Amino acid sequence: MKYVLFDFDGTIADSKIVMLSAWNKLAEKHHFKKIKIEELSTLKKLSIKERSKLVNFPMYKLPIIIPHLYKLYQQSIKEVNLYVGMREVFEELEKKGYKIVIISSNSRENILEFLRYNKIENIESVLCSTLIYRKDKLMNKFLSEKKLSNSEVIYIGDEHRDLVACKKTGIKMIWVGWGYDSFEVVQDEEPDYIVNTPSEILEVIF
């Protein structure tokens, strides 16, 4: 294995509160249902489509709303927290010679600003797509450009759509239990590895 690929929101960055705030601002403007902080634990157990139905949001509007969501997100980027233990994970991976790449549906500008603010310098590159169901395209493009086989990388993420993308590309995935989706949402996709603390990521890879 040469590269370790990371999702961003829910895996590296604890952005739930910032994302919630951004959503509620858009919800007020566009007449979607606002989300209360105490509802987050319930939302974790639902698929994206089920969440959309619950908040009265038509899925076809995603490409229109997502850029506005991440623009609001950027205004509060300093309130997005690095998960405890992730800095050490990056440092250990770098020491062992692994290259680290972020593949996300957040904006590249947001992620780079987060990395600068948190003084994280272990990341080789950041690849992004605003289409939330196109991570497999980014993964395949990355493999092709780097002339890598899917066995030379591993992906670390927290959502069902991450697992689906990994299945499509044949990349093994470590699912983290502290992110946006609960295990009930992802269990049918049978993650290759399951971890509940950042340090367990290193146990899987090493």
Q: What pLDDT score does 60 carry? A: 84
**What number of other Cβ atoms are within 10 A of residue 135's Cβ?**
27
Q: What pLDDT score does 194 carry? A: 97
Q: What pLDDT score does 132 carry? A: 65
**Alpha helices, H only, the chain:** 16-30, 40-43, 48-54, 62-75, 86-95, 108-117, 135-146, 160-169, 183-186, 198-205
Residue range 147-188, pLDDT digits in tens: 999 999 999 999 999 999 999 999 999 999 999 999 999 998
Q: What pLDDT score does 111 carry? A: 97
Residue type, 196: N
Dmax over CA atoms of the chain, in Å, equals 50
Beta-carbon contacts of residue 75 (< 8 Å; ≥ 6 apart) = none
Q: What pLDDT score does 59 carry? A: 83
Q: What pLDDT score does 106 carry? A: 93
* pTM for the predicted model, two decimal places: 0.92
Residues of the chain with pLDDT under 70: 130-133
Q: What pLDDT score does 157 carry? A: 96
Q: What pLDDT score does 133 carry? A: 65
Q: What pLDDT score does 64 carry? A: 86
Residue range 63-72, pLDDT digits in tens: 888 889 999 9
Q: What pLDDT score does 84 carry? A: 97
Angle at CA 7, nearest 5°, toward 36 and 133? Answer: 80
Q: What pLDDT score does 6 carry? A: 98
